[in-house]
Structure formats: structure tokens, C-alpha cells
Structure 1
Amino acid sequence: MPMDFLRRIEDCQFPLALHDEADIRNAIVLEAAGLIEAQLPPVGVPLTEGASVIYRVTAEGRAALAKAKRSG
């Protein structure tokens, strides 16, 4: 789940390189939602080809994490 992935990376040091296909898929969803800033493979390119890097969790991403923590 993308939010579980966001929780997992919230305290990581950035930039964060991704190699796992499931992590890259989660990052694609989070970037589309504006919750992270990242460099990810373009559509049509295999997920494990090229660089997949998360640069930061955005303010919106931090707000979503805080809201999820309050909700339990």
C-alpha cells in the first residue's frame, strides 16, 4: 500500500534510491498524489530500468502522514 510505504520512508535520508519493483510502484502513486518528489521511470519503460530516486516527502505528504497517525 502506498501509505504504508510512505510511513516506511518518512524518516529516511534523501535522496533515496529504489530498486524493488513494488517500492517503485508505490512511489509512482505517491508522486502522482503530490506526496513525494521523485525521479521515476516514464510510462512504457520497465520499472527496474533507469534511476528511481525519491528526493523528499512533500509538505502534503507530511500532512497526510500526520492525519493518518491521528486517525489511528
Structure 2
Amino acid sequence: MPLSFLNRLQHVQLPVRVANPEEIRHVSVLLATGLIEAEITTLKPTSPYVCSRMATVIRITEDGRSEIAKMGNVPAPVKTFMQFSRGLRLM
């Protein structure tokens, strides 16, 4: 659900890269509704098993922060991520 993904985003250091297709759909919905700023890019596939799209979430907008506040105290999910050399992380 996009709002639970938005809640997860508030607990990670931004910018963050997202490669999971379901999470990219969440990013797309949140971007379209103005709750986040993000870039969705299409990659050249290097093999049949590589994800062809990636999203970079840049920040949560004021509208996004207001929506998080409306949700109340939702416990933070425990999630690991990988860190890249330029400071971007993969959720």
C-alpha cells in the first residue's frame, strides 16, 4: 500500500533508490499525488533477470508529511538496505 510505503520512507535517509517493481508502483502513485519528489528511470536490461526500472526518492513533500501525521503513530518497519558509494541506498 502506498501510504505504508510513505511511512517507511520517513524512517530512511533520503535520497534512496528503489528497484522492487511493487515499490516502484508505490513511488509512482506517491509521486503522482504530490506526496514525494522522485525520479523513475528505465534502464537498459543487461540480462533477462535484471529489473528494467529504478526509482530514486528525493524527498517527502509537505503534503506527504501532513499525510504521515494523519496516519498517527504507526510503528516503524524493520528493513535492511544496501548503501552505494555515492551515498544512495537501495531499499
Gaps of 5+ in 2: 43-50, 74-91
Instruction: Please state how far the C-alpha of 1:49 moved relative to its aligned partner.
Output: 2.3
Q: Does 1:53 align with 2:72?
A: no
How many residues align structurally?
65
**2:14 match:** 14
Gaps of 5+ in 1: 43-47
TM-score, normalization by structure 1: 0.81
Higher helix share: 1
After superposition, the Cα gap between the structure-2 partners of 1:65 and 1:6, relative to the gap in structure 1 and judged at 3 Å, is: same
Q: Secondary structure at the match of 1:52?
A: strand
Query: How many Å separate the matches in 2 of 1:34 and 1:41?
Result: 18
TM-score, normalization by structure 2: 0.65
Higher strand share: 2
Instruction: Please state how far the C-alpha of 1:18 moved relative to its aligned partner.
Output: 0.4
Deviation per CA, 1:13-61: give whole Å up to 9, x if none: 111000101110000000000000000147xxxxx42441000011100
Across the aligned residues of Structure 1 and Structure 2, the Cα RMSD in angstroms comes to: 1.7
Rg larger in 1 or in 2?
Answer: 2
**Deviant stretches of 4+, over 6 Å:** none
Instruction: Please state how far the C-alpha of 1:9 moved relative to its aligned partner.
Output: 1.2
**2:79 match:** none
Query: How many Å separate the matches in 2 of 1:63 and 1:50?
Result: 29
